[in-house]
Structure 1
């Protein structure tokens, strides 16, 4: 709810030497008493200063900042740093001599002075650049000027560039075949050249970082994983290459379609042209997919992180193998000792059994000898007894 502040309006006192003017003698209207209400920008400014207890300097500073904020919000004002030089790029002779009939071959971003922004240019920046170009190259401003006979043609190029870049679908088609990036696509280094570089770690990220950043603009899935750094984990590296090997691109090539001949009403001509355009789009799409796959293959083959990860995995395998070997050695030694101990116990038991068997055999032999001795004695005694009986008879 708004607060109402009543401010007393006190007029300044009269000067000490003031005297009322002499009566003119003319008839005047009767005096009417009325109430005056303070209003207007000056009074509102006075109220704001009084309520917020601001000085004139503080109020002026606050008002300037507020106006600047409003201008920035609505894109107004010539002094705000909103366009950052948009539309002020140098215009070469080749650019000014473009033929508007060959509008498909022209660089629309360069025509509007947006070469440094290209696909990152916002709709507001495109409008600002177009407004600047129109003010500079409108035919009415150049009428009667010597040496500007082609300015009308360039103005048509400006209008065509504005028409293409303000239509989201047509702009996407143009971005798919932007001539500036098509030249950069041909400058990919070879594997042989990369492997000959001394500092491969620094060169890889410096070279492939911008390349994948440019290609990322065609991805249907956002955000897109970038190259990263030399210390990335195995999971991050595998995720990066998995994404790019399954890259889903929206890039299309309708912008390069051949137009149907003007004035031709033949449906056969239209069908033939459409069929040929479709075939060409499919061919270009296939070639672009193969190009991107080759780029990812190249990056994978020279990525210094892959070598580092393989070395780490090899070291881990060797460590595990060594640990297992050490454990197996301990187990084998322990097993050998146990077997030796068992063999010794078995040999001892065998020796004791043999000793006991020998003792038993010795006892049995002694008993047999005693029995034989007793038998011989008994036989001799019997023989002696039979001899004595015979003699007596």
Structure 2
């Protein structure tokens, strides 16, 4: 290995007027000697070949050792905590490396940056450090010697992930649609009291990330007071979520510059977002209802209330229950609670089995109904195009007017459940070729949709 080139740089002496007694002078550290080497293939030049040449990996190791050296000397170099150990340095799996940067909405941005374990908990420092390390590992310049310099697809994915996660609004949209968050849990009624807090505390912690109001109260412990427990459920019954569903919005067909197409697609997106929001609110409300009903602390509170009422009725004739009587009453209450819990668990199992059968049957019915939607829609479309209620009598309907009506039909069908589409089809069939009755049926269903979803505006069906 050749000797490094020594650059003729010499620090000048301090001026004679420098006040060595000041506090500032005491903060100046002695100068350090550093070796600077060229790194990477782009630095290989005729003047450099005479001296030491390092690869990128060797250069990274040298800089890491130097940073550790400065940190150990207390020179103010940034020292990262244990949360950053290995962050962004793990090997990516084949699926992650094969992401198409053109379809960046389908990629897992956290996995691309190596933040798949932290996800929504990753802060700005985690994202910054992970991005820097990924860039150092996957920059196209580092692939020059491997013959794969032109393949920069994954590097583009890294940049898109960084762009998304450092933009507050886009990150919220992505977090709202993050399907990698584990949110499954057993039926609350089947969970034993001892495991109740351990099972559902993480569930509410995860759901709490969507709360506009922070901090979110914790589920507490089995010994939490009644005031604390009631405050927890009161918060969740008034839960105000910022969760949005724009991430799943559909774009206008490529190549279309029509403003009508864009407005129509935006209407459909708003309708779909409203539907998802309603379903999410119902899901969360059912979760809170089920957990409250199975909360062992609420059962304990009811038993304590009953004991207090019984003691009040007794009037303290015997000067209050004796210690032995208290112990006996407590033991009887515990035994009664165990019997009640066992009975509830058995009922929960039966109910769960019945619900499963009912859900399967309902699912099959919905799937069958969805298969028929296209057939129903075709019948309705045929009736629209053959019923000339668009123009005055004797005038052929305008193609643009018919097209507008068919577009509104798409929006109307997308807003209805499969069973409702079937009823709409039957109403149109009853009208036959009577234009007035066909239009009346469509207008009636358009009004029903607008009552549920005010932003769904109709022109032809109004």
TM-score bracket, normalised by the shorter chain, equals 0.5 to 0.7
Q: What displacement does 1:263 show?
A: 2.3
Count of aligned pairs between the two proteins? 265
Root-mean-square deviation (Å) = 3.3
Change (3 A) 1:301 1:81: closer
The equivalent of 2:161 in structure 1 is 161
Q: Deviations over 1:299-338 (max 9, x none)?
A: 11111101100000011111112228999xxxxxxxxxxx
Mapped to 2, the partners of 1:153 and 1:64 lie a distance apart of 36
The equivalent of 2:143 in structure 1 is 142
Task: Choose the corresponding residue for 1:319, options 304, 308, 311.
Answer: 311
Mapped to 1, the partners of 2:300 and 2:276 lie a distance apart of 37
Change (3 A) 1:143 1:232: same
Mapped to 2, the partners of 1:38 and 1:139 lie a distance apart of 44
Mapped to 2, the partners of 1:96 and 1:287 lie a distance apart of 34
Conservation of the 8 A alpha-carbon contact between 2:245 and 2:277: yes
Runs (5+) with no aligned partner, structure 1: 1-36, 53-62, 195-199, 328-393
Matched, 1:85 2:86: yes
User: Secondary structure in 1 aligned to 2:77?
Assistant: helix
Mapped to 2, the partners of 1:244 and 1:130 lie a distance apart of 36
Conservation of the 8 A alpha-carbon contact between 2:113 and 2:161: yes
Q: What displacement does 1:51 show?
A: 7.4
Conservation of the 8 A alpha-carbon contact between 2:250 and 2:269: yes
Trace 1:1-393 onto structure 2 (pairs within 5 A): 39=14, 68=74, 70-72=76-78, 83-143=84-144, 145=146, 151-181=151-181, 184-185=182-183, 187-191=184-188, 193-194=190-191, 200-323=192-315
Change (3 A) 1:208 1:69: farther
Mapped to 2, the partners of 1:47 and 1:294 lie a distance apart of 68
User: Secondary structure in 2 aligned to 1:142?
Assistant: helix
Q: Deviations over 1:271-300 (max 9, x none)?
A: 111001101111111111111111111211
Change (3 A) 1:162 1:189: same
For the pair shown, the structure with the greater C-alpha radius of gyration is 1
Q: What displacement does 1:144 show?
A: 5.6
Mapped to 1, the partners of 2:236 and 2:197 lie a distance apart of 16
Q: What displacement does 1:38 show?
A: 6.0
Conservation of the 8 A alpha-carbon contact between 1:107 and 1:179: no
Mapped to 1, the partners of 2:207 and 2:146 lie a distance apart of 45
User: Secondary structure in 1 aligned to 2:223?
Assistant: coil
Change (3 A) 1:236 1:80: closer
Runs (5+) with no aligned partner, structure 2: 1-11, 28-68, 320-462
Q: What displacement does 1:105 show?
A: 1.4
When normalised by structure 1's length, the TM-score is 0.61
Mapped to 1, the partners of 2:224 and 2:281 lie a distance apart of 27
User: Secondary structure in 2 aligned to 1:134?
Assistant: helix
Conservation of the 8 A alpha-carbon contact between 1:88 and 1:113: yes
Change (3 A) 1:80 1:212: closer
Mapped to 1, the partners of 2:283 and 2:241 lie a distance apart of 12
Mapped to 2, the partners of 1:242 and 1:154 lie a distance apart of 46
Q: What displacement does 1:153 show?
A: 1.5
Q: What displacement does 1:216 show?
A: 0.8
